[in-house]
Structure 1
Amino acid sequence: MKIENIQVLRGPNIWSVSRKKLIQMRLNLEDMEDRPTNTIEGFYDRLEKLMPSLYTHRCSPGVEGGFFQRVIAGTWMGHVIEHIALEIQSLAGMETGFGRTRETKTKGVYNVVFTYLEEKVGIFAAESAVAIADAVINGEDYDLDRDIQKMREIRENTRLGPSTGSIVEEAIARDIPWIRLNNQSLVQLGYGKNQVRFRATMTEKTSSIAVDIASNKDETKRLLLEQAIPVAKGITISSLEGVDEAIRKVGFPLVFKPLDGNHGRGISINIRTREDAVAAYEFAAKISRRVIVERFITGYDFRVLVIDNKMVAAALRDPAHVKGDGVSTIQQLIDKENTDPRRGYGHENVLTLISIDRDTLDLLEKKGYTLETVPKKGEKVFVKSTANLSTGGTSVDVTDHVHPQNIFICERISKIIGLDICGIDIMAENLTEPLTENGGVVLEVNAAPGFRMHIAPSEGLPRNVAGHVIDMLYPPGKSARIPIISITGTNGKTTTTRLIAHIVKNNGHRVGFTTSDGVYVQN
C-alpha cells in the first residue's frame, strides 16, 4: 500500500458541512485491492488482539462489534485504515468518530477520510494507520503504545493550552470569529478594526509595564508593601554570601525562589539548615541570577483570579501528594495515583501526571524518606513543594467563601500592579477571614495566570472565567465583525456596488469595496 497524498481539510467540504476538520488521504492499495480482509489468514485475530477497543466501532451494522463483523465478512483495507486512524486518536485522548472511505475513478485508489482534533496529529494518525495495517497483514509485532504517546506529545506541542483554548471556546459560543496567528498561543478574535489579539491570558489591553512589575517579585512586594498589602518578609540576594545575610535577617524556616521564575520552577520551601539553604540558592540561581529569600509561612496555598479589576474566582491549591496505605511504597503510590483517569499527559485532563524530580527527592529526604519508604496508613506525603497544577497539584474551588475584605484587597492589588488579568497567590489558613486578622500574606502576583484550576477544579464548581475575558474585550454593543454586502448578477454589478458604497459612506461609515474597476478603501 502507498500513500499518494494527505490533504488537511478546514471548514465545510465535499464530505461534510458540519464536520469541518477532516484528513483526506489518497491511498493506493496496490496488490491489496484484490485481497479483502476475509482472504488474509489470521488478520481479524491479530487486529482484535492489537486493538480490542475497535469493538466499540458500530460501523454499518449499527451495533457494537459491527466493524469487526465487517472485517470477518470481508472489507477492503482502506476501510480498515479509516477505523484504525480514528481509534488511535481516541486512544491518545482525542475523541473522533466520523469517517468515510470511497474509491476514486482509478481502480485500487481510495480517498480515506476521517476527523481530527489537532492537525499534525491527524496527519500522523493517517501514516500510522497504514503502518499498523501493514504490520497486521504481515503478522509483525507493532508498538502501538509508542505511536499513541507520540500523538500525545504532538498534541501538547501544537494545540492551544487550556487557558487560551477556554477563551477561544467562549468566543465560538458567542459567534465571535477567531484565527490562530502562529503555532503557539497568539490568537486574533474578530476582524478589521474590531479585531482583538491575545496570547494565553495576556491581551492587547495588558500593560507591558505591569507585566514587568509582576515578573519582578521584589518590585511587586515593594509596591504592595507601600500600599499596606500584607506580604511575606524577605530579601533578594545574588550570591552565596547573601545566604548568610538572609538567614540572619529573615530567620528559618525559609523559602527560596527565582526572582524571574514562573510555574513553580526553582522553588524550595521550609529550608531549616544552612546546608539546605546553600543548595536551595544554587537550585534557584539556575533559573534567575537574583533569588528571593522569604520567611516560610505556614497555611494553605490559594490562587485568586481578578479580571478587569473584579475578582471572578478563587481556588485552594494542594501540592501533588499521595496517601499511605501501610503496604505500598511511595513509588507504588505515585504509580497508582497516576492511574487516576482524571490525570493525563500535559494538559490533556483535569489533572497532570505526577513526575519524580529533584524537588520530589529533596522533600522525601527532609522527612528521612526515599521512594521505597512505606508510609503509614492514612499518612499524607507531599511529593512536590509547590501547588502548580502543571506539576500534579490539585485544586478546590472556594470562590463563594472569600471574605469581602479579601475581595477588596485582591481587586486593589490588580490596580496597584496594573494588570487586566491578574493571578494572586496567597498563603493563609483560610480566605473566609480577612488576611489582616488571620495572618495571611500575599506571596506573589502573576501576569498570564493559568485558568485550568478554575475552569476544571478537582473539587467544587467550575467557573467560566473565560467569559469574563470576552466581556472585557467585547463589552455589550461592540461588534467583532465587519459588515459585508455581496452583490451578484449579470449586468450593472459595478454600478450597484458603487451606489451602495456611496450611500453607506455618506452615513458616516468607512467603506471598502471591490469591483472590476479595482479595490477601493474610502476613495
Structure 2
Amino acid sequence: MTKKKDIKFLRVAHLRGPNIWTYRPVIEAWIDIGELEDFPSNKLPGFNERLTALLPGLVEHRCGVGERGGFIERLEGGTWAGHILEHVVLELQNMAGMKTGFGKTRSTGEHAVYKMAFRTRDAVVGRAALEAGHRLLMAAINDEAFDMAATVAQLTELVDRYCPGPSTAHIVDAATDRRIPSIRLTEGNLVQLGHGAAQRRIWTAETDRTSAIGESIASDKDLTKELLASCGVPVPEGATVRSADAAWEEAQDIGLPVVLKPVDGNHGRGVTLNLMTEGEVRTAYAIASEAGDSTAVLVERFIPGNEHRLLVVGRQVVAAAKGESLWVTGDGKASVTDLVASQINTDPRRGESEEHPLGRVNVQDSEILLDLRRQGLTPESIPQDGQKVLIQVNGNVADDVTDRIHPEVAHAASLAARVVGLDIAGIDLVCEDISRPLSEQRGAIIEVNSSPGLLAHIKPASGEPRNVGRAIVDHLFGDGENGRIPIVGVTGKLGASLIARLIGCLLNAGGKHAGVANGEGLYLDGRQVHKGDCTGFAAGERLLINRNMEAAVFESNARSILAEGLPYDRCAVGIVTDMGGLEDVAEFHIRDSEALANVIRSQVDVILGDGSAVLNAADPEVVKLAEFSDGRVIFYAMDEQLAVMREHRARGERVVFARNNHIVLAEGEIETSLLDLGKIKPATVKHPASVLAATAGAWALGLPHDLICGGLRAFDATPKKTNY
C-alpha cells in the first residue's frame, strides 16, 4: 500500500463555554484529510484491524448507531479520517483516566476539509491527546510502529498534573447533578461552585466555610485533646514532651504500651503505635519530631483495636472506613522487601496517584523499619516459610463500615468536629467494634483532621462507595439553592450593546449589584471599568467570579460564540435581536443563513427551564428560534399587528410593542401601558426597538413595572468612567 500523506491541521481552538456543538467545553479542530478523502476506512487494507488492535476499547464506542460496537460497524462500512480521529482522541483520553464521550465531525463544504470537536475536561490534556491521536491514526493508516504504552503514560501524567483530583472532581460532579455551575479558579483544586454573590468555594475537602482557627486547632494535637476532653469526648490519656528522656518518663507514668505522634502532624504521619520498651520509645520520638514542624511530641496511652476514619460534613457523619494491619507471609526464600512487593503492592487498589484508594508501601519508611526491628527483622531479612511479619499497623483505612456506626459513636465524632470548629473533618478513632459505644470498649478519638481525604469513601477497598461529594454540596447549598444569579444573554448586531447596558441599569435600579460585559466594555454597577470589546469568554468570566455581583448581563455575537463559546452555562433570559453578521463569520465556514442560525441558536439553547427567550418578532429567522427555548418566549416588535405577535398573544403569552409612542406590555388580553417613549433620553430612544427588547428582558426577570419606568427614564447612554 502506498504511504498516505499526513493530515493537516488548519485550526485548533478550545471552546470554553456552550457552543454550536454542545453545552460543555470542547476542543475544535479544523482538519484537511487530503487524499484520504478518497480512502475511507473500508478502502485501507488492514487498517481496521491495526487500529482496533491498538485501541481495543473502541468497541465500547456506540457512535451514531447507538449501541456497543457502533463505531466498529461504521469502520467496517467505511468512514473518513476526521471521524476516526475523533474517536481515537476520545479513547486516548479515556485510557489516560480522563473519561469523556462526546465527539462530532462535520464537513465544511470544502473538499476534504472537516470540523471535528471532542469533549475534554482540560485543554492541555485535550490538545496533547489530539496530537497523540493524530500520530496513532497515521501510524495505523501507513502500517507503522506506534508506542502505545509510552503515549498513554505521557497522557496519564498530564491528566495527573492538570486535571482536578478525583476528590475534587467528585464534588464538582455532585454539584453538576444539582445543576450548580462550576469554575476552576487555578490549575489545582480550587473550584468555585455557583456564580457571583451566590458562589461557594472548595479546595478539595476544604470550603469557604472552613475555619482557619479550626484548622490551626486541629493541627495542634495537644490543644485538640484538651478541648475534646473538656466537652466529654473520649480521648487517650497523654502529655506533650520535648525530649526522648521526657518521652520515656511520660510513657512509664501513663503505662505501657504507648503511642508517639507529632503535636502538629496529621493524617497518621510520624505516628508509631504499641511501643513497649525504652528503645522503641526513643526511636519513635525521633520519628515523630522529624515528621512534625517542632520537637514537641505527644505521648499517649495505646488504645487497642482497629483504626477508623469517620467523615463529618456539617453536623453529620456521612461516611466511615475501617483500617487493618498489613502482614506478609514468608516462604523461606524472599526478603521482606520482595514479599511486600509481591503480596501487598501488587494489589490493584494501591498506587501513587489519587485514583488509588490505597498507597504503595515503602519498607524504608521509618515507622515500618521500627516495626520490623521490633520483630528482629530488616527489609533484607528472609522470613521462614509460613512466618507472618507485621508490616504496618495503621494507614490502611479503606473498608467502608458506614452502615455499622453506633449512634453514640457518630454523635461523638460530630461533636469533636464542632468542638474543634471544622465544617468538614476527618475523625480518627480506635475501637474494636464501631457498632458499639466507645465507652463499652475503651475506644477513643485520637485525631481530628482538617481537609480530610475522601478517596477511601469514594472508592473503598471493600464495601459500598459513599456519595460524600453530594453531602458536601448539600452542606454548602440549601434546598432550592443552585448557586445561580440572574444572567441575561444578548445576541445579535442590532443594538445589542445598548440593550445589555440598559438591562444592567434596570437591575441596578432594582437594588442589585449588576455587571455588564458588552462590545463597549466591562461595567460594574454602571461604571465602566474596562473600555473595549468585552464579548469574549475571559471578560465574561470576570463577572461570574466577582463575589459582589448579584446579576450579570452579557453581549455575544456569532463570532464570539464560534471563537470561544458563551461565558456562562445557562441564563435566565436570552435575547436575540437579529440574524445579522454573516460577513463576520465567513472564515469559520459559515456561508449561509441556515448555518448562521445554528450559531445564534446557542443563545436560546442555554435558557433555563424557568427562564425566558426574548425574540425580535420582526425578524422571521429569529422567530424560528422560539421552538428551541426550554423556557417561555416573549416576542417584541414596534408593530403589534405582526402575525407572530397576534398569534402569540392569543395563546396567552407575553409580547412587548409600541402603540401611540407608548411602550405596552401585554400578556394575553391583559395590557399595561408602561411609559411614553418621549420621556426616555434622546440618546437611548433613537433605538426604540432596543428599548423594547430591554424592557421585555426586565419584565422576564420579574422587575416591577414602576421600577422599569424609573430605570428607563434615568438611563444615560454615556458611560461613566472610573479607575475602579
TM over 0.5: yes
Aligned-partner SS, 2:291: coil
Task: Write the deviation string for residues 122-151 of structure 1: whole angstroms up to 9, x where unpaired.
Answer: 222111112333444565543322222333
Task: Check whether the contact 1:24–1:111 (CA below 8 A) recurs between aligned residues.
Answer: yes
| 1:7-22 paired onto structure 2 within 5 Å | 7-16=13-22, 20-22=24-26
Query: Which among 229, 234, 238 is matched to residue 234 of structure 1?
Result: 238
CA contact (8 A) 2:82 2:116 kept: yes
Residue 207 (structure 1) shift: 1.9
Letter in 2 for 1:300: N
Amino acid at match of 1:451: L
Q: Gaps spanning 5+ residues in structure 1: where?
A: none
Q: Is 2:457 the partner of 1:454? A: yes
Which shows bigger deviation, 59-68 or 448-457? 59-68
Residue of structure 2 equivalent to 1:437:
440
Matched to 1:474, the amino acid is: F
Query: Residues 141 and 224 of structure 1: is their aligned pair in 2 closer, same or farther, counting only changes over 3 Å?
Result: same
Post-superposition CA distance 1:429-460 (Å, at most 9, x none): 12233222311111111122233333443333
Q: Match of 1:348?
A: 355
Task: State the distance in 2 between where 1:434 and 1:109 align.
Answer: 70
Kept after mapping to 2: 8 A contact 1:497/1:513 = no
1:407 aligns with 2:410: yes
Determine whether 1:294 maps to 2:300: yes
- Counterpart CA distance in 1 for 2:436 and 2:67 is 57
Structure 2 vs 1, CA of residues 190 and 375 (structure 1 numbering), >3 Å: closer, same or farther? farther
Whole-Å separation in 1 of the counterparts to 2:359 and 2:258: 28
Whole-angstrom distance in 2 between the partners of 1:279 and 1:273? 10
Cα offset, 1:298, TM superposition: 2.0
Query: Does residue 1:172 correspond to 2:176, yes or no?
Result: yes
Aligned pair in 2 of structure 1 residues 417, 132: CA closer, same or farther (>3 Å)? same
User: Structure 1 residues 188, 437: CA separation in 2 closer, same or farther (over 3 Å shift)?
Assistant: same
Q: Deviations over 1:9-47 (max 9, x none)?
A: 344333345xx2432233444676677667777655654
Q: C-alpha deviations, 1:37-67, integer Å up to 9, x for none?
A: 6777765565454444445556678887775
**Contact in 1 for aligned 2:26/2:120 (Cα 8 Å):** yes
Q: Equivalents in 2 of 1:445, 1:342: separation in Å? A: 26
Change (3 A) 1:387 1:28: same
Match of 1:494 in 2: 691
Aligned partner of residue 415 in structure 1, secondary structure: helix
Provide the residue aligned with 2:400 in structure 1.
396
Report 1:106-117 matches (<5 A): 107-117=111-121
Structure 2 distance, partners of 1:82, 1:302, is 46
Give runs of aligned pairs for residues 380-395 of structure 1, distance below 5 A: 383-388=391-396, 393-395=397-399
Are residue 517 (structure 1) and residue 717 (structure 2) matched? Answer: yes
Measure the CA separation in 2 of the matches of 1:72 and 1:114. 22
8 Å Cα contact 1:397/1:459 also seen in 2: no
Question: Per-residue deviation at 1:425?
Answer: 0.9
For the structure 1 residues 497 and 178, does the alpha-carbon distance in structure 2 shift closer, same or farther, using more than 3 Å as the test?
same
1:336, 1:147 → 2: CA distance? Answer: 29
**Structure 1 residue 212, shift from structure 2 partner:** 0.8
CA deviation digits over 1:298-337, x for unaligned, max 9? Answer: 2111122333223333332335x36659699564674466
> Which one is further off, 56-65 or 209-218?
56-65
Query: Following superposition of structure 1 onto structure 2, how do residues 116-127 of structure 1 map, counting pairs within 5 Å?
Result: 116-127=120-131
Alpha-carbon spacing, 1:160–1:66, altered in 2? closer, same or farther (3 Å): closer
**Aligned letter for 1:415?**
R
Q: 1:361 to 1:299 in 2, by over 3 A?
A: closer
Partner deviation per Cα, 1:78-125 (whole Å, 9 max, x = no partner): 444333222222223334344334454555544343333444322221
Specify whether residues 53 and 188 from structure 1 end up closer, same or farther in structure 2 by C-alpha distance, changes over 3 A only.
closer
Which amino acid is 2:717 matched to? Answer: D
Partner SS for 1:423: strand
The 2-side partners of 1:514 and 1:443 are apart by: 64
Q: 1:172, CA displacement in angstroms?
A: 1.9
| Contact 2:332–2:382 under 8 Å retained in 1 | no
CA distance in 2 between counterparts of 1:475 and 1:16 reads: 29
Q: Give 5+ residue unaligned stretches, structure 2.
A: 1-5, 489-572, 576-613, 615-635, 638-687
- 1:93 is matched with which residue: 94, 97, 110? 97
How much has 1:340 moved relative to structure 2?
A: 5.3
TM (normalized to structure 1)? 0.80
Distance verdict in 2 for CA 1:197–1:71, change over 3 Å: closer
The one of 220, 224, 242 aligned to 2:224: 220
Letter of the structure 2 residue corresponding to residue 386 of structure 1 = N
Q: For residue 423 of structure 1, what is the amino acid of its counterpart?
A: G
Please give the alpha-carbon distance, in whole angstroms, between the structure 1 residues aligned to 2:344 and 2:714. Answer: 61
Instruction: Give the Cα–Cα distance (whole angstroms) in 1 for the partners of residues 12 and 116 of structure 2.
Output: 9
**Structure 1 residues 518 and 348, CA gap change in structure 2 (3 angstroms):** farther
Q: Deviations over 1:383-429 (max 9, x none)?
A: 444335xxxx4222234431x33333223322321222222111111
Percent identity of paired positions between Structure 1 and Structure 2: 35
Backbone CA RMSD of aligned residues: 4.1
Aligned residues: 508
Could you tell me how far apart the structure 1 residues matched to 2:107 and 2:331 are? 61
1:177 & 1:492 partners in 2: Cα distance? 33
